[in-house]
Amino acid sequence: MSSWNASPTRNGWLALFADLVSPDVARTLDLGGYRWKSVATEHDLAETDTDGGWAGAVVDCTGDSERAWAFVRSLRRERATDLPVLMLVGGGQLDDLDLRDELFDDFCISPFHPAELEARLRHLLWQVGGGSQPPTIQYDDLSLNVETYQATIGGRPLDLTYMEYELLKFLAQNPGKVFTREMLLSRVWGYEYYGGARTVDVHIRRLRAKFGEEHAGLIHTVRSVGYRFGQSRWGR
């Protein structure tokens, strides 16, 4: 029996404010299991239909910073301080944070490492959520803690590289779905990654080896197509 219990924003959605949504930001949120929507104004938050409401906001200042800060001021004015805000700023914009502590809860410098942005978001939402347990992905004997980057299978720790973990996490978040190598390259390695499809094959082979013979079948090869994690929707 499998279960998916890894929605960091299980009580709501993330609002993403940006002049142009960065592929790196979108990929980090997708891989982290976040439900998110792009918004252009504070009014969008009130008008956009989301089940569970809004859990927080990510505001990208690396474009039009004046417009970004105006959005945050409007957010605070209309919604007081109940919505946690994480600012994305460039290295040359750190001075913009001075004397604006009341407008945001945390920040991350761009360009960022995906693990850092995800960790900051999880910590921020964990604080607001009152200390809920770290989110996990559980599928049969496989367990992934997406906050600590720890993985076990059959109770045995798995020693995974960062990209092995990211690939496994993405597959485990989408059990039963078939992905081509090109799709996995785009979703896991990034939109601007120029490595060949063999990169995916190598990482799949390493994951299977680390699973051990008993669990290697968790990742299925779909002939002439790509890979599938777990049972298909028509499987038993």
Q: What is the pLDDT of residues 198-221, one digit of tens each?
A: 899 999 999 999 999 999 999 999
pTM over 0.85: no
Tell me if 61 sits within 8 A of 89, measured CB to CB. Answer: yes
The dihedrals phi and psi of 185, each to the nearest 5 degrees, come to -60, -45
pLDDT at 219: 96
Predicted confidence band of residue 183 (pLDDT cuts 50, 70, 90) = confident
Closest CA to 59 of 48, 72, 46, 78: 72
The whole-angstrom separation of Cα 167 and Cα 164 is: 5
Tell me if 135 sits within 8 A of 8, measured CB to CB. Answer: yes
Q: In the predicted model, what is the mean pLDDT of the chain? A: 83
Domains and CATH numbers, the chain: 6-128 (3.40.50.2300), 136-229 (1.10.10.10)
pLDDT at 5: 37
pLDDT at 61: 94
Amino acid at residue number 149: Y
